[in-house]
C-alpha cells in the first residue's frame, strides 16, 4: 500500500522547541557552566568593585591585585576605560553574572525557559563578549597593564558566550534549528573555544614578553 505523502501544512510546521539537555551534548553541561561561570564572574566583579571603592576613598590604597608593574589593578582602575559608562564597569559584571548564575540554577532545578528569555540572554552575553574584547585591547595596547580580576571575567565570559550561542543555534532560538554537527564544529565543540582562549593568552604573553622574560 503506497504511503501517503505529508501534507503541505505538516511540511511547513516549525521544528519542535528543544529544552536544555535534549539533543546536543553540550546542552547537558550548559546549566552547570552558567551557574559556576556566573558565580566565578560575580565573585571577581564583586571583589573588583570593593577594591575600586577602596581606592576611590583612599588614593594611597594598594589593591590586593596590584602584584607587579604588569599585573596591576590600580593602574587599570585609574583609567577612563574602567568606568566607560560613568560608573565602575564591575557593577555591570555584578548585575550580568547574577543573571547568568540564576539562569543556571533555574535550569538545574528543571525550569523551562521561554524563547524570549534566551534571546535576551543572547543579547546580554554577546554585548558582554564584545565589551570584554574591547577591554582586552585597551589593557594590552593602551593602558599597558593587566587586572587579574578582570582576566577572570574574560576567562568566564568567552565560554559562556560560546555555549549560549551554540545552544540557541541548535534549539532554533533565532530561526530554524541548526544541526548539531554544524554548530559544534563537527562535534568537537570544545576546540573553537579552546583556540579562542589560547589566542587571547598568546596576545597577553606576546605583549608583555619583555617583562615575563625577566622573571625567568
pLDDT in tens, 10-25: 444 443 444 444 555 5
* Average confidence (pLDDT) over 100-127: 95
Task: Show the beta-strand stretches assigned E in the chain.
Answer: none
Q: What is the DSSP string of 36-50?
A: HHHHHHHHHHHHHHH
4 grid coordinates: 501517503
Angle in degrees, 0-180, between the axes of helices 89-108 and 25-57, rounded to the nearest 10: 150
Name the pTM for this structure: 0.83
The domains located in the chain, with CATH, are 18-214 (1.20.1440.130)
With bands split at pLDDT 50, 70 and 90, how would you rate the model's confidence at 9?
very low
197 vs 178, residue with greater confidence: 197
Amino acid at each position: 500500500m503506497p504511503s501517503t505523502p505529508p501534507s503541505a501544512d505538516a511540511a511547513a510546521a516549525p521544528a519542535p522547541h528543544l529544552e536544555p539537555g535534549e539533543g546536543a551534548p553540550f546542552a547537558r553541561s550548559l546549566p552547570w557552566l552558567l551557574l559556576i561561570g556566573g558565580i566565578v564572574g560575580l565573585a571577581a566583579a564583586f571583589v573588583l568593585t570593593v577594591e575600586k571603592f577602596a581606592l576611590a576613598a583612599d588614593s594611597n590604597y594598594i589593591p590586593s591585585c596590584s602584584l607587579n608593574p604588569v599585573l596591576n589593578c590600580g593602574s587599570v582602575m585609574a583609567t577612563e576605560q574602567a568606568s566607560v559608562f560613568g560608573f565602575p564597569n564591575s557593577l555591570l559584571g555584578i548585575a550580568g553574572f547574577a543573571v547568568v548564575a540564576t539562569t543556571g540554577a533555574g535550569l538545574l532545578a528543571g525550569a523551562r525557559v521561554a524563547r524570549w528569555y534566551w534571546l535576551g540572554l543572547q543579547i546580554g552575553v554577546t554585548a558582554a563578549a564584545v565589551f570584554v574584547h574591547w577591554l582586552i585591547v585597551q589593557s594590552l595596547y593602551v593602558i599597558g597593564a593587566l587586572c587579574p580580576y578582570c582576566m577572570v571575567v574574560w576567562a568566564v565570559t568567552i565560554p559562556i558566550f560560546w555555549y549560549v550561542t551554540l545552544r540557541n543555534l541548535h534549539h532554533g532560538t533565532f530561526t530554524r534549528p541548526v544541526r548539531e554537527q554544524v554548530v559544534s564544529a563537527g562535534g568537537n565543540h570544545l576546540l573553537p573555544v579552546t583556540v579562542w582562549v589560547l589566542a587571547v593568552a598568546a596576545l597577553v604573553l606576546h605583549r608583555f614578553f619583555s617583562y615575563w622574560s625577566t622573571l625567568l
